[in-house]
């Protein structure tokens, strides 16, 4: 399991923004936690045996949208912290 997690992190790290060096306030942290919670709920729904293939495709699209939203927020915060 650890090897899989390390490989996954390595792949995702190049695709997403990093939080390293950013200081987030409570609102920013709450926004990221909200995205994370929704992502987790969608992951659970995707894993259910009763979830249709059509819904699974929708879930994958929603998760990709959440990832994009997260990355955009982090990029914005990073740009604001440099200014």
Q: What is the per-residue pLDDT for 19?
A: 78
Q: Higher-confidence residue: 6 or 40?
A: 40
- Of 49, 76, 51, the closest CA to residue 62 belongs to 51
Q: pLDDT tens for residues 6-35?
A: 444 555 554 456 778 888 899 999 999 999
Q: What is the pTM of this model?
A: 0.74
Residues 6 or more apart whose CB falls under 8 angstroms from that of 39 comprise 63, 66, 67
- Read off the tokens for 36: 């994370």
């Amino acid at each position: 399991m650890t090897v899989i997690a390390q490989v996954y992190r390595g792949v995702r790290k190049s695709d997403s923004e990093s939080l390293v060096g950013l200081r987030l306030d409570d609102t920013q942290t709450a926004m990221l936690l909200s995205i994370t919670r929704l992502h987790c709920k969608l992951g659970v729904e995707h894993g259910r045996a009763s979830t249709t293939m059509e819904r699974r495709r929708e879930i994958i699209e929603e998760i990709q949208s959440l990832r994009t939203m997260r990355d955009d927020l982090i990029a914005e915060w990073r740009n604001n912290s440099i200014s």
